[in-house]
Amino acid sequence: MRLSHWRWVMFCVALIASQARAGQEVGDYSGLPEDLAAAATAYDLAQYKADRAELERLLADDYTLANSSGKSQTKAEFIADMVAPGSKTTYLALSVQVRKVWTDGAVLGGLADAKGLDRGKPFSARIRFADVWAKRNGRWQVIFTQANIAP
């Protein structure tokens, strides 16, 4: 099934809360710098809730998404897709977590299994993703995401 670009990121970007209605979380931020863990958590929730203001804050102005269809999206395009009517993630589980951190940068990623609605149409997908974070002017922002369909 071909998913819209925002769905690629929705599943792929750093460690989104799984089954939010049940109050369960996926991902392990222990051992990360406190400010990065807070930013990653906020980003997860902003994606899950399609919170435009938080996405604006947490994505760098020069953000780029690259997906397995060979397409790229800018920050504005991604946010527009994230808040599109009729789209909602109802389930997301993260596994095979990747965490690489240095002084002013990080890569957070893994494997995401997701289900929900994409502009009113049901979807189910398994995505391998990596988010690149940069600490700029004292705050963490996502600057790049690579997302691909996983077998």
Q: What is the mean pLDDT of the chain?
A: 82
Higher model confidence: residue 46 or residue 22? 46
Q: Residue 59: beta bridge partners?
A: 142
The CA radius of gyration of the chain, in Å to the nearest whole number, is: 14
| Distance (Å) of CA 101 to CA 23, 31, 66, 71, 76 | 27, 10, 21, 27, 27
Segment 128-133 mean pLDDT: 96
Query: Domain-by-domain residue ranges, the chain?
Result: 5-149
Q: Which residues contact 4 (CB under 8 A, 6 or more apart)?
A: 81, 84, 87, 118, 119
3-state secondary structure of 1: coil
Summarised one tens digit per residue, pLDDT across range 50-81 is 889 999 999 999 999 998 788 999 999 999 98
The model's pLDDT over 70-119, given as tens digits with 9 standing for 90+, comes to 899 999 999 998 888 888 877 877 788 899 999 999 999 988 888 888 88
Q: What is the pTM of this model?
A: 0.80
Give, in order, the Cα–Cα distances in Å from 107 to each of 36, 65, 140: 11, 14, 12
Return the DSSP state at 114. E
Look up the CATH number of domain 5-149: 3.10.450.50
